[in-house]
Each structure stands twice: as C-alpha cells, then as structure tokens.
C-alpha cells in the first residue's frame, strides 16, 4: 500500500512518462485485477499549432507546440483520462502537484482527489493560475517568481481547464475525481491496477474529444484488456 | 454722527450681501455677465434709495466727504489714493493678459422646419399629425410592441453612444462633442417639437441645418443615408414613449388625441426597450428587479442574462454574462460580487465601458435589479461571501512610490501593462477574457478608464481581488512571499499593496481637464522636428477627447485611442503641430503589420472662409484639407470629401514635413507646413484669425482603417498674435489717471470746504 502511494506521487511528478496509477483500490482490496488497454484516435491527428514564444525566452524557449489532441506513433491518444466510475479511489496521503516548468504545465493533465492541489512555479518568472471551473469557484491568482508554491482547493469532481494569461500557449487540465483514474501515456496506453473483481463501468474522458464508456469484467489476479477509440 | 455714517455702511453692507447672494446663493452659478448686471441693478437701487431725499443723501455722502477733506483722515486718504489706482491697474492688466476665448457663435436653436422634405427622392410632408407608425398602431394596437422594440433596437445600435442609455444626452462619447448631444428627457428638445420636426433633424442632421442655425459643430449625421423612413418614425415613437413626452401637434390637428391609452409602463415583458419606469412596484425585490431589468438592462445583457442583448455584439468590452457568476469589481474573495459591489456598479456605471450610471433610478429599483441579476448565476445559491481584508493604508510619498515601483517590477506587471504602464504588452500578446473575447490591459496612465474607479483604495481592492473573468489575477496571496523574498532590502521587507497602488495611481494625472480651444503661440527660437525634444515635451499641451467614429460603416465602437495631446507653435514661415497619443502597439506595414497606424490634422480647405465642413471629413460640396502621417511613410497632405474619400497629394504639392517617434506605448509626432503654399486646396494659416481644426487617429493593430477611426469634433484654434506691449503700457497709464483723478477730487473737496 505504502509503495502504491509512493509510486503514485512519483508518477504524478513524471506523468508524461508512461502508465500512471493515481489512486489505489480501497484498503485491503487484495486479489484485485487490473484493467489495461489503449485509447486511440479515429482518423488522422491534427497538426499541432506552433507558437513563437515572445517573452521569457530564456525560460520558455523559442517556440511551443500546442496540441490539444496529442497522438503517439500508433495513433494512440495521450492525455486521455480512464476512470473506473463505479469504484472509489483511496484518499491520497499527499496533495497532487501541478508544476509550471519551462512555461508548460507538468503534468499536462493532473488527476487529484477532491481537496488540495499544490501548485509550483519552477520557472522564476510570473505565471498566473487561471482556472475555468464551474462546479468549483474559478481561480485567477498571480504566482510571481518569488512565490514558489501555492495551494488551491478543488472540492467538487470536475474536469477543469487551466491556463496562464502571461504565456498564452500554456494550457493544462485538472481532473478532480473520487474514482481510480489513469492518464494515457504518449502512445495512448493505460493501466488501472488493484481493481476489485466484478463488473465495472470504465469511462474514458478527453478534454477536447469528450467521453466514451464500456462495461468491463475484472477477475482477481488477471489483467483485462479494453480498447477505446475516440472521434474528432 | 452715527446716523450718517450708518447710511453709508448700510449701503455697503447691502451691496456685499447682494454680491454674496448672487455669487454663492444661486445654483447653478450664474455667468459673470449676469452677475455684473444684477450687481449694477442693485447698486442703482441702493443709490435711488439713499438719494430719495436730501437729508438721506447728505447722510450717505458725509463719510465720503469726510474722508476726502478731514485732516485727521489723511492716512486713510493716502492709503485709498494708492490702493484704488493699483486695483484699477491690476484689473486692466488681467483683462489685457486674458487668454483668448473661442468666438461666440450666434445661431437659431430650433429653426423653422420646412413643410416637406425630400427623403431619398420621396417627398415627405412633415405637417401631418399622425406619423405612419402612429397610424398603424391606431389601426392595429397589437403592432405597438413591434414598433417600440424596433425603435429601441435602432436607438441602441445607432444613437446610444452619444445620446445615452438614459436618453439624456450623456452617452459614453458625449464628452467628445460640443455642443453636447441632445437630451431628450429634459423639456428643451423633443418635448417642444413635433414629430415631423424630429424626423427632419434625424433625416438631415447637422449638415441639413438652414443658414440661420450655422455655424454649428453639430455632429448629428444625416441618417437618411442609413435608416429607412419607417425606421426613423419607429425610433421617434420610441423616443416619445420612453421619455413620456407627448409630441407637439400642429394646432389645426390638435383636436385629435394622439395614441390614447398607451400609458408608460405597459410594455410587454421581454420587449427590447429601455422603456419607461414601471408604473407600480410588484411584491418582492426580485419581481420588481425582473421588470426593471427587462426594461433597462436586457438591451445589452440579454433577456436571459447571458450578455447577449441586441447591442452586445457592438460593445467592447462585451456586456457581462451574469450566468457565469464572475464579476470584475469585487470587495469579496472569490468570483462573486457582494450586493454592495453590484449596487455600486449599477449606480455609478463602469468607466471605460458602455455600462452607464443608473443613479437616476430610485434606490429601490437599483437594489431590486441587483437581487434579480443574482438569480442568473447558480453559484449565488447558498454562497457565503467574505469581505477581503484590506491592509492598513499607506499614504503616497516618495518612499512609498519607490517601494511601489519595485513591486511593479517584481510582480512583472509589465508583462501585460507594459514597461511604462500604458497597456503595451510584448508584441504578439493576445489577451482574452474568459469568454474568448480579446481584451486590452488597462492603460495605467488613463485612470479615468479604470473599471472599478481610480481612487487609491479602488486600485488596492483590484490588486487584492483581481478582475474575475479577465487575465488580471489577484495578487493578495503573493505579498507576504514578496516581503520575504529579499530580507535585506527594507523597501521589500516593508512593502504594502498600498505602495503598489500609490505607484500605479501616480502614473496618470490627478485630474483631467479637456481643452476647449487650441491656442498656437509664436515660437521663440528654432522649432525642432524631433518629437522628443524638450522644448516640445515641456510645453503645456491641450488635451482633447477622441471618440469612436460610430456613424459611417465600418464603425469604431471602442477606439483604442481616447485622447490626444496637442502642442502647436508657429513661426513667420510655418505652422508646427506636435501630437501625442497612446497606442499599445506600433503597426507598420513595412514591418509586416497588416494595417498602419495613422494620424491626421483636419482643416478647412483654402482660406477656410466658407461654410464649415461636416466634422467627418466634410462632403462633396464642403471638402476638408488634411495633414497626414501613416506608419512606414512620410508626413503628407490630402484632401477629403467625406470619410473614406481621401485623396493624398503627391509630388511637389506635398510641402508638409515631420517626424514621428514611438516608444513604450506612446506616439509623438511633429508635423510642420509653410503658413501658405501655392496649392489652392491647402489651408492658409493666418495669424490672429480663428480657424476650425479636428483630429483623427487610426490604430492599425485594432483594424482601424478608413472610417474606422477615433476622431475629435471641430475645435477652434488660433495663431496667437505676438504678445502685445499694451498689457504693460495701459495698466500704469490707467493707474496714473485714476490716481490723478483722486487727487483732483480730494483737492476740489477741500477747496469747497474751505470756501464754505
């Protein structure tokens, strides 16, 4: 259990790199199975928009690629959220973390249980956390270079767009949920572990492409494969 | 001899009391000419009273006589002998040195209307009692709402910017015009006019005024080019119904009552009208609020509160979408505004936007509308609003401004507000509000456009709470971190948001005084072409308001440039204009911008002695002459026969020269031209004579081009004659004459006494 939590915190910090397990199963759910699979985009991927960086170049670089729909080599869709919507995740011991680094949000999609989100500014330039929440109160707070860390509360389940007005290309998502949720990696792969045996509803949510749900049967100690395909 | 002295003192006291009463007791204050008239009448009355019989007269004159003759009063005599000539001398000096005022223009205010006019080739009789719209409503009362709604929509889209939401002539461009736009609510305009007269004025506008009503700067356009006959009758119907004034009717028609039974307050809910006040309050605030809202707010904010009324697409910034529950101006934490916050904006309006001040509504209606507005946002249900804690006030001082400047830099306010605070962010910044609409950061040098007010406490509150729905973040949470960021620097350790607010407020002027006249003095010494030369920047400037050109399409409902500072001088050879205006982006097509920034000085053609052209670049029969500059090109000259019909001069005809500089969100331009040129259309500058001048500014990056521009109305300008020596010659002469007269009077009085 402890390992799982450590793993999940680590995973959040390096979310882009691979399969992410955010929250484990309810305590004592031994003998659970796992769900893994792939989320694909039907059709060709749109070309990412390239934006010339016009300020803070020493930190932000010279150009940024904006891909609201990011697709890997085999047509796998990254940054999609896969959740078991009829199970509850364990309460995390530490708040989720959203970092602003190189004038990008890391991870691009942060999954958090209702509660606190730790927001870091690793850049040393002014950012502002501007959320477009509706269930939760919207936030627009400056995070100047000398404010390395701040904490915001998001109490209600919601997929929230977050942007920085100082750097117009910066776009991220905060997914507040009580369900066990994984984020697909660069190739669209995901894995949800320690899911209690039985029939479950698994839903994939993409910030731009919308939702899709499937019924999945999980057997103890076994991995169940499921595949999704989202359309533009 | 108490009685005689009493008489004189009584008279003086009466005069002083009258002067105080006339000066301070009567509101609004009367002009000086009226004041002096009243004082003269009072003086006459006092003299008549004291000279009513010879005893009284003697009693009145006795103290004067005594002062003139009695040896014991010699010191007083001497003092008066010095003081009175000095006063006369000073008065003469102040009169001779007085600044020039614009010449008086006499005109007929409500000229006799013609019986018929030609409207797009059709003859229209203006004498009929019933307009086509009223006739239609008489025959079919159900059509009333349709006509009223159409009239309201026409008004909102065409008339509101100048004549105002309240129809009181106080629209948000009204300050840019002289005379001010007509106030329809008061008793002086439509209340004493027939609908035919109003039709004539709308159809033909300022250019269609008869000779006896000119010269006049009326900015009223001839709407016959843009509105149909029915649309004009509809908007007239809307004007009368909304103000509650009955139209004047020709006597021969007066017997027939006009539109009976259509009392104010029976507008259907949802009608697109900023209509008359509801007749009776309904039970409950929200119900009354709904009624007020639908009559007055829905035109912009939409019937469902989404900020999508018929005027919305023309407004920048867009009207608030109440369903989002995000309010710009708040004194509470979170995106919702308190009742007081909302009431304040309803009452005082929002500077720099189209939101007017509704303080003319009773407080009950304003509070009710606040209660109703809150029902649009789900998030108000059960919301607990917490007032933001305001830090202890810090007065503005040199030290506070220094601390504030350090905060301005450390918090990187420059990222949006620009290096100099003029709202000039890095090129390519594209700030958007939460609804995806482009939004401009505030120009901190123009505090009168601050949405939530320009007092220091207002600025502190904006810094604390941010401006929800816009990119402006709240910085309250970062101040403590800032103080700890450099423990060695006392300016950082002791910083307060008040310091930052003090600094922000110090960028703009304390008060803004619009000029009414452009005085162009003769230059002393060489006149530099460098716009940044000190001899220019240190010279006081005339600040003129610019407004959007909202008459001819494409219109400019929210110009980037809202004022222009003009400095001008002349020499024996040339007239030189120095213009300063703020523009957050420099757009130069030779450097890749799609449209250029431009400026123009508009003058009459030739000697400028004919009819004054319409202020929007005249028309075919009254062209104008322009001194122009566009980014990426040289200063030039042009003539125009209406907006968008500009013909640049070329080759040797162009004698205007100049230089333009851009830095940190501000343009400075020097444009110079010989007083007289060989070209017939070129305006001839003649020292000592008043001439009309107007100004145009285009912001290329905002899409300005042709008619889409910011413009001023006509102003009077004059090349001031060299200061006359008279003001130093006449006063001493007058003082000497007065002294001699006094001396003579005293001597004569003494001799008479000795003779007696």
Whole-Å CA distances, B572 to B566, B658, B690: 20, 18, 17
**pLDDT, averaged across chain B:** 87
Tens-digit pLDDT profile for residues B656-704: 999 999 999 999 999 999 999 999 899 999 998 899 999 999 999 889 9
Please, are residues B693 and B718 in contact by the beta-carbon 8 Å criterion?
Answer: no
- Calpha distance B559→B712 (Å, rounded): 12
Predicted confidence (pLDDT) at residue B446 exceeds the cutoff of 90: yes
Helices (H), B616-711: none
Q: What is the arithmetic mean of pLDDT over B596-613? A: 91
Under DSSP, is residue B603 helix (H, G, I), strand (E, B) or coil?
Answer: strand
C-beta neighbour count of B620 within 10 angstroms: 8
Q: What is the share, in percent, of chain A residues with pLDDT greater than 90?
A: 65
* Residue in the block written with tokens 């006040």: B277
Q: What is the pLDDT of residue A227?
A: 93
**Angle in degrees, CA B197, B201, B205, rounded to 5:** 170
Of B59-63, B404-408, B627-631, B639-643, the least confident: B59-63
Q: What is the pLDDT of residue B240?
A: 94
Distance, CA of B360 to CA of B365 (rounded, Å): 10
Q: Which residues of A touch B416 (CB under 8 A)?
A: 165-166
Per-residue model confidence as pLDDT tens digits over B447-495: 999 999 999 999 999 999 999 999 999 999 999 999 999 989 999 999 9
Handedness of CA B120, B121, B126, B130 (dihedral sign): negative
Calpha distance B380→B323 (Å, rounded): 10
Residue B505 CB contacts under 8 Å (≥ 6 apart), including other chains: B396, B447, B454, B456, B459
Residue of B nearest to A140 (CA): B473
Could you give the CA distance from residue B189 to residue B186 in angstroms, rounded to a whole number?
Answer: 7
Is B279 buried (19+), middle (13-18) or exposed (0-12) by CB count in 10 A? exposed
Give pLDDT, residue A1.
42
DSSP string, A37-72: EEEEESSPPPPPEEEE--S-HHHH-SEEEE-SS-B-
CA–CA–CA angle B40, B41, B45 (5° rounding):
115
Whole-complex ipTM: 0.82
Give the closest of A137, A138, A142 to B411, CB-based.
Answer: A142
Task: Give the closest-approach CA distance of B415 to chain A in angstroms.
Answer: 7
Q: What is the 3-state secondary structure (H, E, C) of B1-55?
A: CHHHHHHHHHHHHHHHHHHHHHHHHCCCCCCHHHHHHHHHHHHHHHHHHHCCCHH
pLDDT for residue A151 is more than 80: yes
Q: Is A12 exposed, middle or buried (0-12, 13-18, 19+ CB in 10 A)?
A: buried
Residue B565 has what pLDDT?
A: 96
CA distances from B216 to B105, B182, B206, B209 (A): 8, 14, 8, 9
Cα(A139)–Cα(B334) distance, integer angstroms: 7
Q: What separation in angstroms does the CA of A157 have from each of A85, A92, A154, A175?
A: 12, 15, 8, 7
Q: How many CA atoms lie within 13 A of B339 on its CB side?
A: 11
Q: Which DSSP string corresponds to B704-744?
A: -BTTBSEE---EEEEEPPPPPTHHHHHHHHHHHHHHHHHHH
Q: Is the pLDDT of residue A115 over 60?
A: yes
Q: Are A86 and A201 in contact (CB under 8 A)?
A: yes
pLDDT in tens, B382-430: 888 999 999 999 999 999 999 999 999 999 999 999 988 998 876 667 8
Contact of A124 with chain B, judged by CB distance below 8 Å, is answered with: no
pLDDT digit string (tens) for B107-156?
666 778 888 898 988 888 888 767 899 999 999 999 999 999 899 889 98
Q: With an 8 Å Cβ cutoff, are A168 and B412 in contact?
A: no
Q: What does the pLDDT read at residue B94?
A: 77
User: Does any CB of chain B come closer than 8 Å to the CB of residue A30?
Assistant: no
Looking at the complex, report in whole angstroms how far the Cα of residue A152 sits from the nearest Cα belonging to chain B: 11
Q: Identify the H or E element spanning B58.
A: helix B54-69
Question: Do the chains contact at B415 and A143, CB–CB below 8 Å?
Answer: no
Look at residue A224 in the predicted model and tell me its pLDDT.
92
Q: State the best of A51, A60, A100, A126 to mutate against chain B, taking most chain B CBs within 10 Å.
A: A126
First-last CA distance in chain B? 20
Query: Which pLDDT score, from 0 to 100, does residue B731 have?
Result: 84
Stated pTM of the model: 0.79
A137 vs B: CB within 8 A = yes
Per-residue pLDDT, averaged over A60-78, amounts to 88
Whole-number pLDDT of residue B646? 93
* Segments in B512-565 forming alpha helices (H): 534-537
**Residue-level pLDDT at A17:** 40
Q: Is A68 on the interface with B (CB under 8 A)?
A: no
The confidence band for B106, taking pLDDT boundaries of 50, 70 and 90, is: low
> Is the Cβ pair B412, A138 closer than 8 Å?
no
Report how far residue B18's alpha carbon sits from residue B28's, in angstroms, rounded to the nearest whole number.
17
The two structure tokens encoding residue B39: 């004082």
């Amino acid at each position: 259990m402890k390992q799982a939590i450590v793993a999940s915190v680590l995973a959040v910090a390096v979310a882009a790199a691979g399969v992410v397990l955010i929250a484990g199963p309810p305590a004592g759910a031994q003998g659970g199975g796992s769900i893994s699979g792939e989320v694909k985009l039907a059709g060709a991927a749109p070309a990412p928009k390239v934006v010339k960086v016009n300020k803070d170049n020493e930190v932000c670089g010279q150009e940024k690629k904006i891909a609201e729909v990011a697709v890997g080599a085999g047509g796998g869709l990254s940054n999609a959220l896969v959740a078991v919507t009829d199970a509850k995740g364990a309460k995390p011991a530490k708040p989720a973390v959203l970092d602003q680094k190189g004038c990008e949000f890391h991870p691009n999609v942060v999954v958090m249980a209702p509660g606190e989100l730790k927001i870091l500014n690793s850049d040393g330039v002014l950012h502002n956390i501007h959320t477009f929440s509706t269930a939760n109160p919207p936030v627009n707070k400056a995070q100047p270079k000398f404010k390395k860390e701040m904490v915001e509360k998001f109490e209600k389940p919601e997929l929230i767009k977050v942007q920085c007005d100082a750097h117009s290309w910066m776009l991220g998502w905060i997914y507040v949920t009580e369900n066990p949720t994984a984020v697909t990696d660069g190739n669209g792969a995901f894995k949800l572990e320690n899911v209690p045996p039985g029939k479950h509803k698994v839903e994939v949510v993409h910030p731009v492409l919308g939702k899709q749900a499937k019924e999945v049967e999980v057997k103890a100690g076994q991995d169940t494969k499921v595949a999704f395909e989202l359309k533009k | 001899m108490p009685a005689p002295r009493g008489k004189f003192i009584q008279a003086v006291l009466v005069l002083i009391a009258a002067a105080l009463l006339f000066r301070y007791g009567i509101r609004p204050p009367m002009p000086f000419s009226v004041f002096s008239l009243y004082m003269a009448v009072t003086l006459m009355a006092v003299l008549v009273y004291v000279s009513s019989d010879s005893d009284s007269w003697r009693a009145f004159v006795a103290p004067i006589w005594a002062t003139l003759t009695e040896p014991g009063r010699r010191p007083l005599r001497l003092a008066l002998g010095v003081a009175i000539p000095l006063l006369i001398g000073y008065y003469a000096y102040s009169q001779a040195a007085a600044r020039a005022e614009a010449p008086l223009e006499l005109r007929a205010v409500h000229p006799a209307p013609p019986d018929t006019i030609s409207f797009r080739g059709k003859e229209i009789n203006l004498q009929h009692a019933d307009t086509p719209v009223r006739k239609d409503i008489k025959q079919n009362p159900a059509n009333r709402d349709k006509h009223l709604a159409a009239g309201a929509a026409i008004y909102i889209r065409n008339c509101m910017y100048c004549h105002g939401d309240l129809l009181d002539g106080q629209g948000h461009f009204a300050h840019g015009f002289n005379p001010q736009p007509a106030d329809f609510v008061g008793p002086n305009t439509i209340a004493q006019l027939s609908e035919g007269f109003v039709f004539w004025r709308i159809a033909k506008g300022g250019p269609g005024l008869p000779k006896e009503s000119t010269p006049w700067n009326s900015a009223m356009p001839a709407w016959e080019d843009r509105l149909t006959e029915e649309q004009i009758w509809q908007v007239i119907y809307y004007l009368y119904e909304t103000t509650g004034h009955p139209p004047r009717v020709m006597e021969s028609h007066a017997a027939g009552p006009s539109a009976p039974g259509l009392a104010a307050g029976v507008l259907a809910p949802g009608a697109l009208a900023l209509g008359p006040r509801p007749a009776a309050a309904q039970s409950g605030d929200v119900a009354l609020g709904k009624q007020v809202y639908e009559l007055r707010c829905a035109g912009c904010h939409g019937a469902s509160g989404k900020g999508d009324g018929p005027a919305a697409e023309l407004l920048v910034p867009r009207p608030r979408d109440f369903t989002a529950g995000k309010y710009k101006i708040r004194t509470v934490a979170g995106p919702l505004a308190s009742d007081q916050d909302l009431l304040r904006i309803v009452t005082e309006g929002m500077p720099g936007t189209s939101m007017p001040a509704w303080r003319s509504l009773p407080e009950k209606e304003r509070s009710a509308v606040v209660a109703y507005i809150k029902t649009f946002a789900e998030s108000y249900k059960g919301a607990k609003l917490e007032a933001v804690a305001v830090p202890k006030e810090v007065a503005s001082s040199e030290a506070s401004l220094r601390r504030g400047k350090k905060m301005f830099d450390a918090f990187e306010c420059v990222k949006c507000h620009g290096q100099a605070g003029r709202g000039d962010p890095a090129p390519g910044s594209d700030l958007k509000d939460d609804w995806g609409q482009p939004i401009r950061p505030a120009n901190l040098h123009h505090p009168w456009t601050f949405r939530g007010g320009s007092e220091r406490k207002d600025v502190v509150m904006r810094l604390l709470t941010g401006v929800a729905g816009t990119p402006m973040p709240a910085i309250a949470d970062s101040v403590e971190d800032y103080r700890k960021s450099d423990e060695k620097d006392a300016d950082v350790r002791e910083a307060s948001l008040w310091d930052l607010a003090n600094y922000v407020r110090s960028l703009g002027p304390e008060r803004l005084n619009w000029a009414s006249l452009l005085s162009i003095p003769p230059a002393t010494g060489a006149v530099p072409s460098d716009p940044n030369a000190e001899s220019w920047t240190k010279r006081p400037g005339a600040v003129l308001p610019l407004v959007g050109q909202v008459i001819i399409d494409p219109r400019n409902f929210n110009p980037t440039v809202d004022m222009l500072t003009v400095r001008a001088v002349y020499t024996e050879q040339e007239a030189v204009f120095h213009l300063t205006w703020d523009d957050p982006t420099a757009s130069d097509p030779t450097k890749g911008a799609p449209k250029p920034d431009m400026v123009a000085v508009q003058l009459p053609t030739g000697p400028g002695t004919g009819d004054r052209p319409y202020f929007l670049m005249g028309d075919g029969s009254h062209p104008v002459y322009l001194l122009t500059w566009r980014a990426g090109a040289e200063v030039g000259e042009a003539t125009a026969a209406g907006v968008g019909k500009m013909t640049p001069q070329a080759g040797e005809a162009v004698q205007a020269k100049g230089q333009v500089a851009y830095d940190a969100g501000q343009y400075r331009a020097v444009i110079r031209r010989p007083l007289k040129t060989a070209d017939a259309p070129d305006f001839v500058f003649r020292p000592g004579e008043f001439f009309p001048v107007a100004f145009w500014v285009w912001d290329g990056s905002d899409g300005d081009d042709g008619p889409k521009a910011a413009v001023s109305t006509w102003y009077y300008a004059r090349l001031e004659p060299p200061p006359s020596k008279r003001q130093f010659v006449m006063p001493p002469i007058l003082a000497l004459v007065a002294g001699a007269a006094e001396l003579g009077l005293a001597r004569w009085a003494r001799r008479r006494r000795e003779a007696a």
